[in-house]
Chains A and B, each alone.
Chain A
């Protein structure tokens, strides 16, 4: 297993090494040591490899990820897995704000809590947070699912488009045009699939989740809503 120690190797060299990998490379399991909060660790990977990062990372870890599985054995700073296209990013600790921002695909799993703006402008990514999320999560979320096993902060789903939000705990408040919606069987099936992908199948009761989504009164502008602006 190739191991890259960021105490001795530059971040640029790490990322360039990962970018050089062919899609069918035999080097499929990488370890990164001593990230020490550096930014942009393991960004822009485009190969089906596993990268395990031993420690806390800074901003934008695993951004733009495609096909790879990136595991962070620690916390991640702002913008983890931002603009992910596919693959999986798994953070074993907490994440800072804007986790999974603008993500177009793939799965982000956070074992701890996520701070503000989790899933902001998500465009197809699925995000599972086993703890709680901060304020303005799923702001302007367009597509994909945000699953929160714990609580959500203020203004959840503000100005949401068509993303689906599932929250197991309490919601401090809903943002503009975000409403509670009934949990139907196909939502339960979706939730079961996501919880399994997040490794918590059978650990939580699906029926305790509440679903939130767009009331569709805001983004299809309607003159009756002029007071909302």
Chain B
């Protein structure tokens, strides 16, 4: 099954409520994906800096890690710790050095996402509990995507939870199952991509990453995936300025979109959208199969 939600705010007045609205949407889809959950929130940027979302084993000493990273940076680094994750804002010029330090001093810590505005959080557990562990209801921003997972293709682990990052400020969530992910993974590995899991969705994220590295836009990379990725899928991708949607040509997996003057939303089911403000007057429709939709801020 799995459930996906996405919310893009057109009205800046709603930005303080982004996390609360998305937490409600995710909570509704607990029954489509009770194993684990994750979400990407696009908030404020700091000029000249990039945010790294780090994930560590439970109980990790983030204070000690931060000190080590600050030594490398030669400056103090703004950070927010949320449960097993820490978002640390680093100067762009020091990003590579800080990543190198991370690998050296804390190999057990992984970078789950990086970007000027994107923060990614994911964990095993009931989606509503995962959302409150990370304090999602208090988060603010312009847009967010989220996922509730019912594992079918690989183990229930934090690494197997969505979203999967595909590049700076980009991530992917997936509802469905890919049937040729092993073959595609081998092909991507030959191009130098490394994978953390046996998960089919991570392969889809890797595919998009490679295509964009080869010069395609995200839009074109998604189009290209129609020919390569076999199986059932609804993909939602988060970008710095919005989100995109693609359903497989057979459209096996459900998908609903809704729009008002104040927001655009995606939900695996309409149920996920019913508490959005003004939903009763929203235009509600089902996205067409094999068609890439993007909703982005100009």
Q: Which residues of A contact B (CB under 8 A)?
A: 36-38, 55-56, 58-59, 75, 77-78, 93-94, 96-97, 115-116, 134-136
Q: How far is the CA of A81 from the CA of B250 in the complex (A)?
A: 22
Q: How far is the CA of A89 from the CA of B235 in the complex (A)?
A: 32
One of B251, B272, B284, B285 near A97 (C-beta < 8 A): B251
Measured CB to CB, the nearest residue on chain B to A74 is: B284
Add 15 more A-B contacts to A37-B271, A94-B285 (CB < 8 A).
A37-B269, A37-B270, A38-B271, A55-B280, A75-B284, A77-B254, A77-B269, A93-B284, A94-B284, A96-B254, A97-B251, A116-B251, A135-B250, A135-B251, A136-B250
B289 touches A37 (CB 8 A): no
Q: How far is the CA of A132 from the CA of B238 in the complex (A)?
A: 31
22 A–B contacts, CB within 8 A, in A order: A36-B271, A36-B274, A37-B269, A37-B270, A37-B271, A37-B272, A55-B280, A56-B270, A56-B284, A58-B269, A58-B271, A75-B270, A77-B254, A77-B269, A78-B254, A93-B284, A96-B256, A96-B286, A97-B254, A135-B251, A135-B289, A136-B250
Interface of A is mostly: loop
The digit string for B211-253, where 1 denotes a CB below 8 A from any CB of A, is 0000000000000000000000000000000000000001100
Measured CB to CB, the nearest residue on chain B to A56 is: B270
One of B251, B274, B285, B286 near A37 (C-beta < 8 A): B274
A94 touches B286 (CB 8 A): yes
Q: Which residues of B contact A (CB under 8 A)?
A: 250-251, 254, 256, 269-274, 280, 284-286, 289
Q: How far is the CA of A93 from the CA of B280 in the complex (A)?
A: 13
One of B270, B271, B286 near A115 (C-beta < 8 A): B286
One of A38, A55, A94, A134 near B251 (C-beta < 8 A): A134
For residue B280, give the distance in angstroms from its CB to the closest CB of chain A: 8
Measured CB to CB, the nearest residue on chain B to A115 is: B286
For residue A105, give the distance in angstroms from its CB to the closest CB of chain B: 27
For residue B166, give the distance in angstroms from its CB to the closest CB of chain A: 28
Measured CB to CB, the nearest residue on chain A to B284 is: A75
| Interfacial chain A residues near B256, Cβ < 8 Å | 77, 96
Q: How far is the CA of A58 from the CA of B284 in the complex (A)?
A: 13
For residue B289, give the distance in angstroms from its CB to the closest CB of chain A: 7
- Known contacts A115-B286, A116-B289; is A37 also within 8 Å of B254 by CB? no
Measured CB to CB, the nearest residue on chain B to A112 is: B285
| Interfacial chain A residues near B250, Cβ < 8 Å | 116, 135-136
